[in-house]
Chain A
Amino acid sequence: MKNYDTKRVNFKVFRFNKEVDRLPYYENYSFDVAQDEVVLDILNKIKWEKDGSFSYRRSCRHGICGSCAIKVNNKPVLSCKERVFDLIDIFGYELVFEPQDIKQAIKDMVVDKERFWSKYSSVKPYLVAEIDAHPKSENIISEGEADRLDEADYCIQCGNCFYACPSIQVNGDYIGPAALLKAFRFNTDVRDEAKRDRLEIVNQESKGVWDCVKCYECAEACPKDLSPIDKITKLHNQIFEENMATDNVATRHAVGFKDSIQKHGFLDEGELVRYSEGNLGVLKHVPEALHMLKNGKLIMPWQMPKSEKLDEVDKLIKSSSTVKFK
């Protein structure tokens, strides 16, 4: 049997049964792991060989049902896809298995995904269209039109991006990367008729795209390499393209960069804050501005640096701009 390499690994596993345990605890299990074994094989071994009460979700074993997502040493993984040897390369011979969100744990690796699904259903995650109930043919789209979905339809709702997002952890209102990716998926479908409705949903302050912190945790977490943050960027773009950007601190902040680059090449930090916040809003930054001034961290308008060859920049901005802010 042992005609190929195995490695001895200690697995420190989160255990908790909401119905009987007051606090979670960690159980240690050691196994010899072979190079073709994935995290799901270890979960199975724990259940089948060590403790039949051990609980985790799994179904397809082929990376398509999205149910077996957990965290290993805080790295979101799809258990059935993640080779243990690859994890050893990163973290060494002690691996910590935890559910996606320990605060939402029900039993061992099983979490209550209610928050995930409620955010998901809030973006109309389905095709909205008047479609004949008894169609004579398929309602197909061209290859080019399908390409524009940018593989967003491959999302398996595993929740890895959602539970990796730091913005969600501190702001319960934020819709989060999975739901935003889904909004993009249907907004970009040529058959759909609810684009502006969804843009209204994702354009809301504290809930929508403007609360993405741009940390790229979702891009790393996605087992399908869908880069949810890139879809969030495209939703930002749709908001401007559809002329739905409301005049507020977040939109002015995005637009302010172009104006500043055109004028100076560099970003005028002080002016960006003033322009984004407005003349009244900027007053709340006065205490920190005074502090920065005292420490030589603010420059005066006449000291503003300028890039060379600004005529080129001006020309490129005029010829390459694709959007207008009202």
Chain B
Amino acid sequence: MENLKYAFFVGCTPKQSTPELMQSTLAIAEAFNIELVELVEATCCGASHMQDYDDFLSLVLNARNICYAEKRGLTIVTVCNTCQLNLATAKYRLDNDESLKQRVNAKLKEVGLEYKGTSEIKHFLYALIDDFGIDAIASRVTNPLKDLYIAPFYGCHNIRPHEVHGSSNGNEDPYRPTSLDRLIVALGGHSVEYGHKNKCCGFHVELQAPKTANRISGSAMLDAIENSADTMVTPCPLCHLRLDVQQKSISEEMGQDVSIPILHMPQMVGLAIGISPEKLGIKHNIAKVDFV
């Protein structure tokens, strides 16, 4: 198989609050010979908030982001569900509305760019499962996660709205996603069945409505814990910031202890293929990862 190569849309958190996501992503990409070419010109996707303020500007900036992958002739890989949704939404809207595309391109022309719609956009989870292949991953497992009950937490923006993601997430059904479950099993672990696996973490109202955010994430975490999860895993750094960093305030809001280790998806893969916890940035996780 020819080595996989992608335009890497890093996003904001891997360079700031989730350095462990950056480290673990690069570590497993290296192990699988996947080449990630950083989109150094790219800007923040707007995180689903900027469009509330200025929808057109948000669209123009995301179209610009995609242009730089098109120039390199590469598919974009994201490592954050919200980056994924914002870029995929921009692409979906531009590819389905010729007059909107013309308005956006009129602006992009001022800086010598043109959005064409030639680059696909997919989250690293699906690049691994669908492009690299789940069997190829399974064949690289040296330390099967055989004693671990792992609760997959999919995060909203990788699975909803389904028509925006289309085939780029393997046509995942938003009411019964399976990719993370299949990945857990391929790594030798037990995937925990629980009702909140495809539910929201509340991240996007954390500042203005912390009570709402804490109750939403608390319900999901208690559901995972009650179903005997040893750890939760998520492909989204924003879910991770909620579930991992905010455990103390979530416990206070719920009146129950919600302590549980939270892994980033690439950290989980890395542990199973024998990459050291140091290289996977485990020391940055706030809830202690007590099984490594």
Contacts and interface: CB of A to CB of B under 8 A. Distances in A.
B17 A297 contact: yes
Nearest to A248: B208
A308 B40 contact: yes
Contacts of B50: 254, 257-258, 261
A261 B61 contact: yes
Given A254-B49, A307-B43, A316-B107, A322 B57 contact: yes
Interface in A266-287: 266-267, 269-270, 273, 276-277
B203 to A, nearest CB: 8
A211 B43 contact: no
Contact of A321 (B40, B57, B64, B203): B57
Nearest to B241: A297
Contacts of A55: none
A254 B15 contact: no
B51 interface: yes
A220 B110 contact: no
Contacts of B278: none
B48 to A, nearest CB: 5
Interface in A204-243: 205-206, 209-217, 219-220, 227, 233-234, 236-237, 240
Q: Report which residue of A171, A253, A315 has the largest number of chain B beta carbons within 10 angstroms of its beta carbon.
A: A253
Contacts of B64: 312-313, 316
Interface string A58-76: 0000000000000001110
A115 interface: no
Contact of A240 (B53, B160, B215): B53
Contacts of B48: 214
Nearest to B46: A257
A196 interface: no
Contacts of A321: 54, 57
Interface in B222-253: 245-246, 248-249
Contacts of B216: 166-167, 170, 213
Interface residues of A, number: 70
B61 A313 contact: yes
B275 interface: no
A220 B160 contact: yes
B57 A258 contact: yes
Contacts of B146: none
Contact of A319 (B107, B156, B284): B107
Contact of B15 (A270, A305, A315): A305
B66 interface: no
A312 B60 CA distance: 12
B175 A211 contact: no
Interface string B44-75: 10111111111111001100100000000000
8 contacts: A211-B209, A214-B157, A249-B208, A295-B283, A297-B17, A298-B17, A309-B41, A320-B107
Interface of A: 73-75, 90-91, 166-167, 170-171, 174, 205-206, 209-217, 219-220, 227, 233-234, 236-237, 240, 248-250, 253-255, 257-258, 260-261, 265-267, 269-270, 273, 276-277, 288, 291-292, 295-299, 305, 307-309, 312-313, 315-317, 319-323, 325
